[in-house]
Amino acid sequence: MKHIDVEKLIAKQRKEIARHDTLYHKIARPEITDHEYDRIKRELVDLESQYPEFLDKGSPTNQIGDDRNEGFDTYLHRRPMMSLDNTYNEEDLNGFEKRLQKLLGVNELIYVIEPKIDGVAISLTYEKGDLVRAVTRGDGIKGDVVTKNLKGIDYLPTHINDESCPEVIEIRGEIYMTHSEFNRINKERKKTSLDLYANPRNLAAGTIKQIDLNISDNRKLDIVLYGLGYCSSALFTYQHEFYEALKGWNMPTVEKYWMANSIIEACYIIKKLENLRDTFAYSTDGAVVKLDAIDQQRESGATSKSPRWAIAYKFAAEQAETKIQKINMQIGRTGTLTPVAELDSVFLAGSTISHATLHNEDEIKRKDIREGDSVIIEKAGDIIPAIVRVLTEKRKNETPPYIFPHKCPSCGTQTIRLSGEAARRCPNLSCPPQIRSRIEHYTSRQCMNIEGLGEAVVDQLVSKNLINNFADLYKLNINDLLSLNNFAQKSSENLIQAIESSKKCELWRFIHGLGIHHIGLTASKDLARSLQTLQTLIDANEDDLMELDGIGEIMAKSVNNFFSQYSNKKIIARLITYGMNFGNATSTQDTSYDLKGKSFVLTGTLISLTREAAIQLIENAGGRVKTSISKNTDFILVGESAGSKLTHAHKLGTKIIDEKEFHELLKN
């Protein structure tokens, strides 16, 4: 291959892997199995080592991903949260042992072997025995603070009541969801025709990052602890001793672990563990082999990404050959068209498989998947089976390439694919598979905030055909509501009143409620603040929009597309005739804009107002709230127990204000 071609190939693969990293870590919606991911990553590692002239520190082969999201405080881990090196064969395990023997200058090493839990990494900080913080891995250095989202795990002690507990200890572990809880939630969703979650790992990751705690309360998470992050005293000599201490403190730790005197013995144990994998409460995708002696762990140290004293052995994904009968299109709740292959049924990894996801248009093209093809499918853990490759040698000559439909198969609307996006979407607000979720979004707290119109009520209204889009809400009458379960005269009147009041809401709420792709809460507020009226927004062209603060090209295109749809225009026209009236106000509270252009970062717990209220006040006054601090931050608002952001602010010389000063600033 020419040098220039290698460089291009490496760049392309890096971009692709970075995309999969974001899908997995940030939004918990991976498109490929872990095995497929490991395969393409290994291809890149091989290329990079073959052509070291293209090595780059920023390559995803040197990163461990980043799970941080907007809306959470960040916390600097006292010790980095690293990743584990993966292996799929015994040869690599032998290599692991040889490296350690050489490094430590000893032949006999003792290992602990335990299940690798397929969940989401978490770090718990206990200070003076009290659980003060739960933090996600983030980028390994800083993570998101999710303490509140752990409240539902009632068996996790919030206090370690034991004299042996050190002053400060950071304990690492995994948040997971049991198979039974996962199945319960999906069963409920099936009843109401909602999209099903793909696997327990993704649902656990989504739940731990849930901002609306009412949702996470109904989803039961679990936790298992297996690692020592930081300990203020040298309390433990062996890894297994740490597990026993955890048990003594009533902490949930690995339910089973094994000791081995050599890697040969470890391999034997891993086989035993693989046979037991279905008996654990959590999904296990492999085994972890760790050095037992903590001083040896310390001595062997770590590479930039993972410790040298531990390694993950991943169980092989099970594969089978089958044939694609047909390619069907599923329309997700936000209008994304997902191609699904209908397969000749085949038994694989404990269940009969008759469907496999094909992800998107490009994936079909890349693998050249056609109807009638013989294919190899793979299933790892609970993930929806995927097509690994097409057996082109078995293809009949006349099979034509698959043409991805450009019209929505459900409502016939022309679909849209924005440049730079993998997904094709149906933009029709009344497209049947999208109706429920679009209305739920519209009525939710961060949009129109219509109290009493939650998922269950929307579901009944749609099932009874009383509403098909959010404009229909404003036509509902008392009798319609009285026909629903659990609705009496008073509750019906209250809901009608709440719907009526929503007509006078702030413009940003309405814009957010429209569910325009790429237009989240912040962009909705930016649009409302800059344009002031709905009509100006509808009339704005792409160039006008791109000139606005905070609005980029993709957003501008998406807004433009949305308002150019005839069916969307019709719904908006109806809403206006029903008396929707935002006036010129972006807020019903404060429109002084004294803080226009000023950026704020919040840290610690606020006492006089909630975090949400503080954000609202800042934004109403024209300011912006950012999650991380930089030299461009104007103010840092500090509450109680402020964390690392405050230290950073001191270093950067950012203006630090407390709650009293904050209120004064707003008054002025």
Measured from the Cβ of residue 439, the count of other Cβ atoms closer than 10 Å reads 26
Stretch in the footprint of ligand IVH (CB under 6 A) among 77-85, 194-202, 351-359, 587-595: 77-85
Q: What are phi and psi of 59, to 5 degrees?
A: -60, 145
d(CA 298, CA 487) in angstroms, rounded, equals 63
Q: Of the candidates 10, 17, 44, 82, which one interacts with ligand IVH according to CB under 6 A?
A: 82
Stretch in the footprint of ligand IVH (CB under 6 A) among 211-219, 258-266, 302-310, 315-323: 302-310
CB of 317 or CB of 364, closer to ligand IVH? 317
The answer to whether 102 is a known catalytic residue is no
In total, the chain counts a number of residues equal to 668
Q: Of the candidates 10, 17, 44, 84, which one interacts with ligand IVH according to CB under 6 A?
A: 84
CB of 110 or CB of 546, closer to ligand IVH? 110
Token look-up 């291959």 returns: 1
Q: What are phi and psi of 282, to 5 degrees?
A: -105, 165
Which are the contacts of 533, defined by CB distance < 8 A and separation ≥ 6?
A: 507, 582, 584
Partners of residue 494 on adjacent β-strands: none
Q: Which residue is nearest to ligand IVH (CB)?
A: 121
Position 116 contacts ligand IVH (CB under 6 A): yes
Shortest distance in whole angstroms from residue 610 CB to ligand IVH: 31
Stretch in the footprint of ligand IVH (CB under 6 A) among 89-97, 303-311, 432-440, 498-506: 303-311
Stretch in the footprint of ligand IVH (CB under 6 A) among 114-122, 318-326, 517-525, 595-603: 114-122
Q: Of the candidates 6, 312, 376, 521, which one interacts with ligand IVH according to CB under 6 A?
A: 312
Shortest distance in whole angstroms from residue 628 CB to ligand IVH: 22
- 547 SS3 class: coil
Q: Of the candidates 36, 114, 170, 292, which one interacts with ligand IVH according to CB under 6 A?
A: 114
Shortest distance in whole angstroms from residue 257 CB to ligand IVH: 9
Shortest distance in whole angstroms from residue 283 CB to ligand IVH: 10
CB of 39 or CB of 184, closer to ligand IVH? 39
d(CA 226, CA 104) in angstroms, rounded, equals 24
Position 288 contacts ligand IVH (CB under 6 A): yes
CB of 117 or CB of 448, closer to ligand IVH? 117
d(CA 68, CA 301) in angstroms, rounded, equals 26
* Residue 662 to residues 126, 630, 641, Cα–Cα distance (Å): 31, 19, 17
Shortest distance in whole angstroms from residue 290 CB to ligand IVH: 7
Position 442 contacts ligand IVH (CB under 6 A): no
Tokens at 63, concatenated? 């990163």
Q: Of the candidates 97, 174, 459, 472, which one interacts with ligand IVH according to CB under 6 A?
A: 174
The one-letter code for the residue type at 407 is K
Q: Which of residues 210-269 bind ligand IVH (CB under 6 A)?
A: 226-227
Token look-up 């409920």 returns: 188
Shortest distance in whole angstroms from residue 306 CB to ligand IVH: 6
- Number of residues in contact with ligand IVH under rule CB under 6 A: 15
In the sheet with 624-626, reading across from the earlier edge strand, the strands are 624-626, 599-603, 635-638, 655-657
CB-side neighbour CA atoms (13 Å) of 87 = 19
Catalytic residue among 15, 102, 116, 148: 116
Position 609 contacts ligand IVH (CB under 6 A): no
Nearest to 409 by CA among 344, 476, 327, 488: 327
Largest CA-CA distance found in the chain, in angstroms, rounded: 82
d(CA 589, CA 104) in angstroms, rounded, equals 66
Binding mask 379-418 for ligand IVH (x = CB under 6 A): ----------------------------------------
CB-side neighbour CA atoms (13 Å) of 572 = 19
CB of 114 or CB of 373, closer to ligand IVH? 114
d(CA 562, CA 570) in angstroms, rounded, equals 12
Position 143 contacts ligand IVH (CB under 6 A): no
- 339 SS3 class: strand
Helix axes 200-208, 179-191, angle to 10 degrees: 80
Position 144 contacts ligand IVH (CB under 6 A): no
Binding mask 502-541 for ligand IVH (x = CB under 6 A): ----------------------------------------
d(CA 59, CA 73) in angstroms, rounded, equals 27
Q: Of the candidates 112, 113, 117, 551, which one interacts with ligand IVH according to CB under 6 A?
A: 117
Q: What are phi and psi of 441, to 5 degrees?
A: -65, -45
Shortest distance in whole angstroms from residue 296 CB to ligand IVH: 15
Name the helix (H) or strand (E) containing 197.
none
Position 292 contacts ligand IVH (CB under 6 A): no
Shortest distance in whole angstroms from residue 305 CB to ligand IVH: 9
CB of 82 or CB of 146, closer to ligand IVH? 82
**409-412, long-range: CB < 8 A, 24+ apart:** 409/329, 409/331, 409/337, 410/331
Position 175 contacts ligand IVH (CB under 6 A): no
CB of 24 or CB of 249, closer to ligand IVH? 24
Position 310 contacts ligand IVH (CB under 6 A): yes
Shortest distance in whole angstroms from residue 135 CB to ligand IVH: 13
Q: What is the DSSP letter of 134?
A: E
* Residue 333 to residues 148, 392, 439, Cα–Cα distance (Å): 28, 34, 11
Q: Of the candidates 10, 121, 551, 614, which one interacts with ligand IVH according to CB under 6 A?
A: 121
CB of 174 or CB of 181, closer to ligand IVH? 174
Partners of residue 174 on adjacent β-strands: 121, 224
Bridge-based pairing state of the strands 599-603 and 624-626: parallel
Q: Give residues in contact with ligand IVH (CB under 6 A).
A: 82-84, 114, 116-117, 121, 174, 226-227, 288, 306-307, 310, 312
Cite the active site residues. 116
